[in-house]
Structure 1
Amino acid sequence: MAQSSTTQRVNRSKRLVSIKDIAKETGVSVCTVSLVMNNKDRNRVSKAVAQKIRETAKDMGYKPNSVARSLRTSKSNTLGFVTDEIATTPYAGRVLQGAQDAARKLGYILLTANTNNDADLENQEITALRRYNVDGFLYAMMYHRKVDIPEALEGSPTVVVDSEDAAGKVPSIYPDDELAGYDATKRLIQAGCRRIVYYGTEADIIAQGLRFEGYKRALAESGIPFDDALVVNVLEMTNAADEAARVLDEIKPDGIFCFNDVRATFIYEAARERGVRIGADVSVISIDNQPFITDVLKPSLTTLELPHYEMGFEAIRQLVGMLDGDEAVKDLKSDHGVAVQGHRDGAEMALRCRVIERDSIVS
C-alpha cells in the first residue's frame, strides 16, 4: 500500500531533508533547488519558483549541511566578533545581541573574542579565529573613536562597529552623535526651555565635540543665541558635583542637556539637595539610556538610547552583503521591530539615537 503524503512527511522528519527531497516535492531539478538554497537564483530562477522552493524547504524542516557547504564553497559560514570589552559589559551587550540575531537569520554562526584592550591578546584571538576559517570580522569598540585596524585583519572582510576606521578603508558603523546632541536640545526647546545648559565632558573624545555641535545647531535653528556661559564641561571623578551645584545656584537654567546619564546623576543630586524639582522647575535630558541609572532616578530620566542593537544588526548586514552580495541580505528584518535610521557617507554609516520619553522634562 502506498504511503500517504502525511506519512511520507513524518518519515522525512526522522532524517535530514536533502535538496533532492525538496526537488521531488516541488517538481523542479536539484540544480534549481541548489541555486535557490545558496541564494544564487537571481535572474536564473523565476521569483515564483524560488518562493515555492523556499516555502517548501521551510515546511519540510530543511537544514543546510554546513560541513558539506564549507567544503564546496571554501566558506565556513562563521563570523568573528572581536571586541575590546563589549562582550563583558551588560550596558553595551546589545551590540553583540543585534549581531547574533542578524547572523542567525542569515545562516551564520558568530564566534566572539574579548580582548580587554590588550593588543597582544587581540592578535592571539584573531589568529585563533582564523584557524576556524571565519569568513569575515566585526571589529567592535566600547565607544565612538577612530581606530587603526589590526594588521591581523588585513585581507579579511571587516566592518568596524561603534568606531571609525582611521584610514577610511573599512566600512564603519557608529552613533550619529551630532544628531543626538541636536535631538536632545531640540526636545528641551520643544518643552519651552530657552536657557539651556550643556553639561558636557572634559574628555577629548569624538562624541563630546559632535554632541556640542548638535546642541549649537538646535539653538541656532530656534533663534536662541549661543551663550558660552551655559557650557559646563566636567569630569566624573573630580569636579562634576561642584559644577552641578554651580549650575543650579548661579546659572539657574530652565533646561539641562547632559552628555550622558552618569552626569545626569550629579544634576539630580544637586537638585535634591536644593529642593529643585526636576520635571517641574527644570527639565533634564541626557544620552545613553543605561538601565541601572534610568531605572533608579526619580523622576525617571528622559534620555536618548544609543543604537547598540542596531549597530550590531546592521554591521552583520553589511558584512554578509560583502560576502554573499546585497541580494542575500535584502530581506533581513529584526524580530525586535527596531528600524535602523541613519545616513551613509561613503563607507561610513551614522545611526540615529532614539529619544526615550520619561518624566524629567516639563510637560
Structure 2
Amino acid sequence: MPPPRPTLMQVAQRAGVSRSTASFVLSGRHKDMRISEDARQRVLRAAQELDYRPNLMARSLRTKVTKTVALVSDTIASEAYAGRVIQGSLAAAVAHGHLLFIGETEGDPVVEGRLIADFVDRQVDGFLYASMFTRHVQLPKLLRGHRVVLLNCLTRTTNPAVIPDELTAGLDAARTLLEAGHHSGIYLVGHVREEVFAGRERLAGIKDGLGDAGARLAGTIDCNWWPDSAYDAVHRALTDGLAPRALICLNDRVALGAYQALREAGLRIPGDVSVISFDDSELAAWLRPQLTSIALPHYQLGWQAVETLLGEPGYPEVQRLPMPVRRRASIGRPPAD
C-alpha cells in the first residue's frame, strides 16, 4: 500500500507554525494575514520536504470551485476524424489550470442523463455539450442553471456556441474554382437534406459564391456521403453522358468515390475534371493527386469552446470559426473546348 499522504498539520508542525498559518501560506494569502517572510519560507520548505499536496476535494468544498469541466458528447470521443476536438479542449483546460472529464453518450438519453448527473455530483465548474455533426439540439434539463458552452451544435434558445463557419467554407469552395478559371460545368456531388446543417450551409455558400461571379451550379449528382454511394452516382452520371469540368464534393469520402469513378471513365484529375471537397480528413492527403479540401477546424473548436467557458466574458453568442482551404493538386484550369 502507498504511504499515507502528508497532512497540513504535519507541515505546520515541521515548520513550527499554526495550522492556520500554514494554510494561509500555501493558499497564497500570507500577505493579507501579515505572516513574516521567515515563517513563509519555513512552511514552503516543510511542504517541499514532506512532498505535501493540497486536498483538492476539501478545497473545492470551501471555495465551490473544483477546477474541473466536463465534455458531454454523442460520439466525438470515438470518432477518428474528430479526435483533435478532444485535444484542443484538453489543451485549453490545462492552460486554465483545469482538468477535463469526458463522457460519451452514443446518443442514448438514459446514458446522457446518468453522465450529466454524475458530473453535477462532482461539482464541475462548467460543461461543454458537444455533437459530432453540427446540428440543433435540445439542451438536457439537468444542464439548466449550469455554465454551458455548446460545441459544434446550436440550440433554439440563447446558449453560447462554437461552430465551424460552413457558409464561408461554401463561398471559398466556389471562389477557389472560379480563381482557377471554372465558370461552367460545375456539379455538386452529395445529397443535401434540410436537417443537415453542414450540407445546407455549404450549398448556400457555393451558390452565393458562384452567383457573385455570374455563374451557377450545372447540377447535382445525388448520393449519400459515403464512397460507394458517390462512386455509383458519379459512374452512372458519366455513363449517361455527363461531362463535368469540376466537382464540388460535400466531404472527402464522397471525393474518394468520385475519384474512382472518374479514373474508371479514363478522366484525369485535374486535367479533365477538377475536384474540391470539405473536411480535410486524412483521406485528402492520401488520395492521388492530393485533394484540395476545406478543413474543419477541430482543434480550434475544442480550444475555443473551453476558452469561452473559462476565459474572460465578451464573446459573441455564436462563434463561427474559419475553415481554411487546403490547396493541393486536384484543381487545375478547365480544359480547352
Q: What TM-score, normalized to structure 2?
A: 0.79
Q: CA deviation digits over 1:247-285, x for unaligned, max 9?
A: 545332222111001110121011110121112221111
State the partner residue of 1:258.
249
State the partner residue of 2:134.
144
State the partner residue of 2:269.
278
1:243 partner SS: helix
State the partner residue of 1:56.
none
One-letter identity of the residue aligned with 1:351: L
CA distance 1:278–1:114, change in 2 (3 Å): same
Aligned pairs for 1:122-201 (under 5 A) are: 122-166=112-156, 168-195=157-184, 196-201=186-191
Residue 70 of structure 1, CA deviation: 2.0
One-letter identity of the residue aligned with 1:30: K
C-alpha distance in 1, partners of 2:204/2:142? 36
One-letter identity of the residue aligned with 1:361: I
1:192 partner SS: coil
CA contact (8 A) 1:294 1:300 kept: yes
Residue 176 of structure 1, CA deviation: 1.1
State the partner residue of 1:354.
324
State the partner residue of 1:317.
307
Residue 236 of structure 1, CA deviation: 4.5
Q: Does 1:83 align with 2:73?
A: yes
One-letter identity of the residue aligned with 2:177: L
C-alpha distance in 2, partners of 1:202/1:32? 65
C-alpha distance in 2, partners of 1:106/1:174? 21
One-letter identity of the residue aligned with 1:360: S
1:144 partner SS: strand
Root-mean-square deviation (CA, aligned residues, Å) is 2.8
One-letter identity of the residue aligned with 1:92: A
Question: Number of residues paired by the alignment?
Answer: 292
C-alpha distance in 2, partners of 1:248/1:352? 34
1:30 partner SS: coil
Aligned pairs for 1:40-119 (under 5 A) are: 66-67=56-57, 69-119=59-109
State the partner residue of 2:8.
none
Q: CA deviation digits over 1:184-234, x for unaligned, max 9?
A: 11111111111211213244411111111111111111222x25x422332
Pick aligned residue for 2:219 from 230, 235, 238? 230
1:234 partner SS: coil
Residue 65 of structure 1, CA deviation: 7.0
Q: Does 1:220 align with 2:211?
A: yes
CA contact (8 A) 2:24 2:33 kept: no
CA contact (8 A) 1:307 1:352 kept: yes
2:133 partner SS: coil
C-alpha distance in 2, partners of 1:266/1:110? 38
Identity percentage over the alignment? 35
Unaligned ranges ≥5, structure 2: 1-21, 35-52
One-letter identity of the residue aligned with 2:202: R
2:268 partner SS: coil
C-alpha distance in 1, partners of 2:233/2:70? 44
One-letter identity of the residue aligned with 2:281: Q
Bigger CA radius of gyration: 2
CA distance 1:22–1:75, change in 2 (3 Å): closer
Residue 69 of structure 1, CA deviation: 4.4
One-letter identity of the residue aligned with 2:222: N
CA contact (8 A) 2:177 2:331 kept: yes
CA distance 1:182–1:65, change in 2 (3 Å): farther
CA contact (8 A) 1:194 1:254 kept: no
Q: CA deviation digits over 1:145-189, x for unaligned, max 9?
A: 0000011111110011111113x2211111111111111111111
C-alpha distance in 2, partners of 1:71/1:230? 62
CA contact (8 A) 1:140 1:161 kept: yes
CA contact (8 A) 1:261 1:303 kept: yes
One-letter identity of the residue aligned with 2:300: E
Greater mean alpha carbon deviation, residues 198-207 or residues 96-105: 198-207
Residue 66 of structure 1, CA deviation: 4.0
C-alpha distance in 1, partners of 2:328/2:23? 52
CA contact (8 A) 2:130 2:152 kept: yes
C-alpha distance in 2, partners of 1:177/1:278? 25
Residue 352 of structure 1, CA deviation: 1.4
CA contact (8 A) 1:284 1:360 kept: yes
CA distance 1:313–1:218, change in 2 (3 Å): same
C-alpha distance in 2, partners of 1:319/1:65? 25
State the partner residue of 2:31.
30
C-alpha distance in 1, partners of 2:202/2:264? 28
